[in-house]
Amino acid sequence: MSVSNIIISLLSLFSIFLLTLTFFIPHDSEIYQLLSYFDFILCFVFILDFFTQLSKAENKWKYFYTIGWLDLLSSIPVIYEFRFIRIFRVFRVLRIIKSTRLLIAFIKRNKATSLYGFIVFTAFITLVFTTTAVLYLEQDVGNIKTAEDALWWSFVTITTVGYGDYYPVTGSGKLLASLLIFCGIASFGAVISYVNRLAVSFKDKGF
């Protein structure tokens, strides 16, 4: 078990929630298109995880023929039906984490890494929810009208660049923008802290 396995499992569970949500949204709507973009991002993360697990496996053929092919199929964005196979990623970790006590003990042993992983996961969830909510609130009254507009706005907002070409005009939209800005500041702070921690560890090892 590792922090990355737990994060991937949480993202898999979240992606299944997004896929289920699309059943209740018109396919020609901008909200549906936006959720599809986010799912493509998740597919990219999952395919990277597949190749990472494959490279780490002692017996690569055994990994591929047992569970690896499921991971690969669930990571292909063009095959919509296979994406629900991601639930098996969650089940694998649930088999490892047999009790809350074991999970708590693992987090205590890996406090720093667990914190960074939690921040990354929280940042992504916040990004998805705020972007989707802002598009829903603003598409009829503001200048954020398409999925592409919302993605660009969320990118420049979470990076705190703020070009100002797209911006929320409703009170709720501005509140969500503030939340996304705060999330961006916290995320970049965590990244800088993590890089600094890696640099110190390399220095201690004599690199």
The residue ranges of every structural domain in the chain are: 1-109, 111-206
Residue 101 has pLDDT above 80, yes or no: no
Q: Are 59 and 22 in contact (CB under 8 A)?
A: no
Planar angle of CA 77, 135, 144, nearest 5 degrees: 110
Q: Are 167 and 143 in contact (CB under 8 A)?
A: yes
Mind listing the pLDDT tens digit for each residue in 166-192? 999 999 999 999 999 999 888 888 778
Phi, psi torsion values for 163, nearest 5 degrees: -65, -30
Q: Are 39 and 46 in contact (CB under 8 A)?
A: no
Residue 60 has pLDDT above 90, yes or no: no
| Token pair belonging to 87 | 């639930």
Give the relative orientation of helices 111-138 and 3-22 as an angle to the nearest 10 degrees.
20
Mind listing the pLDDT tens digit for each residue in 145-159? 999 999 999 999 998
CATH placement of domain 111-206: 1.10.287.70
23 or 123, greater pLDDT: 123
CATH placement of domain 1-109: 1.20.120
